[in-house]
Amino acid sequence: MLNEDVHDSIDRLVSKVGKKENQKALKEILSTVCRLSDMDINSGDWKLLSRSIKEFRKSFQAFTPFRNKRKVAIFGSARTPEKDPLFKMAEEFSRDITKNDFMVITGAGGGIMEAGNKGGGDESFGVNIKLPFEQSANHYIRESKKLVSYNYFFIRKLMFIKESDATVLFPGGFGTLDEAYEGLTLIQTGKSLPRPILLMQNPGDDYWQTWVSFFTEIMLRDKYISPDDMDLFSICESNQEAIDIITSFYKTYHSLRYVGETAVIRLNAPITESNIEALNESFKDIVTEGKIEACKPFPEELETKDHVKKFRIGFKFNKVNFGRLVSMVRMINNF
């Protein structure tokens, strides 16, 4: 327990450095750090904590000025040579998606990452991981203020998801498949909001079909995943197909937030009562109580000024069938 003097010192410090709306969180952070000082943790633990906070600060510093623009995270092999058709495909995808008012985020390395930064130009970020070999920032992002370098994979991976609105994966090795599995897992478990996940390949290739065959032939067979989990991703063989999927995903759908047991879906434009009835008919299997209906902003949304002017619908979601939730978003966009 912290004594009264420590609490008073934290209150005085927060009153001098914290904005009013952030003071509660800042007090909790400082109180937690002070409580750690009473624990028997070693210098390595303190170094981990200190480095982590610094890496979060650098991340927020880079991304905060651009929070008003949606972003696409691009993954793929660092070993893809510039002459490979996949390099050209990634470069052109990055260039074309930025023309649709998206920015791109890559791992800042070579191969597909370099292609993404090359095509994205000043509309691209690089989140580099410090490795003893293979990974150094490519020359397209090396001098940019939108480059952030990390010691820890877990913070880098968090920023990839937190700061992006879509995930695009080109063929790659363990790292690429790690990001693919993590992206699918986070949406499947509800730890990440619905988003397009696109698996890119050249026409006639079978990289992703071979990977996905394990899902269908083993995981589905043995009931380790549900059939609706297959709706979490799409295989694309052209940039235009991928761009159409990403842009259409945010055509009407804007964002989602949970308020207690209620899933609140905010929309860029109103939908009709008949549209809502169609949703109720198609997705009653994932509604645990009541029905899907138009609603006003919840007090929690008003408190944080969370897109309160957007039209919204709400329903009690079972928080199990997230593939079905993605399908609902697609249906909303098709109205």
Taking only the tens place, the pLDDT of each residue in 176-207 is 999 999 999 999 999 999 999 999 999 999 99
pTM over 0.75: yes
Rounded-to-integer distance, Cα 147 and Cα 62, Å: 8
Give the model's pLDDT for residue 133.
66
Rounded-to-integer distance, Cα 265 and Cα 314, Å: 6
Q: Where are the alpha helices (DSSP H) in the chain?
A: 4-17, 23-36, 43-63, 85-99, 112-120, 153-162, 174-188, 207-214, 239-249, 273-283, 299-303, 322-334
Evaluate whether 55 touches 152 at the Cβ level (below 8 Å).
yes
Q: What is the pLDDT along the chain (335 residues), one digit of tens a residue?
A: 778 888 889 889 988 887 888 888 999 999 999 899 888 899 999 999 999 999 999 999 999 999 999 999 999 999 999 999 999 999 999 999 999 999 999 999 999 999 999 999 999 999 999 877 656 899 999 999 999 999 999 999 999 999 999 999 999 999 999 999 999 999 999 999 999 999 999 999 999 999 999 999 999 999 999 999 999 999 999 999 999 999 999 999 999 999 999 999 999 999 999 999 999 999 999 999 999 999 999 999 998 899 999 999 999 999 999 999 999 999 999 99
Evaluate whether 144 touches 43 at the Cβ level (below 8 Å).
no
- Beta-bridged to residue 253, according to DSSP, are 267
266: tokens are: 């905010």
R_g over Cα of the chain: 22
Rounded-to-integer distance, Cα 225 and Cα 216, Å: 9
Give the model's pLDDT for residue 3.
83
Name the strand (E) or helix (H) holding 150: strand 147-150
Give the model's pLDDT for residue 71.
98
Question: Dihedral sign, CA of 67, 73, 74, 79?
Answer: positive
Closest CA to 172 of 261, 80, 274, 88: 80
Give the model's pLDDT for residue 217.
96
Give the model's pLDDT for residue 44.
93
Give the model's pLDDT for residue 134.
55
Evaluate whether 75 touches 167 at the Cβ level (below 8 Å).
yes
Give the model's pLDDT for residue 5.
87
Rounded-to-integer distance, Cα 55 and Cα 43, Å: 18
The DSSP call for residue 18 is S
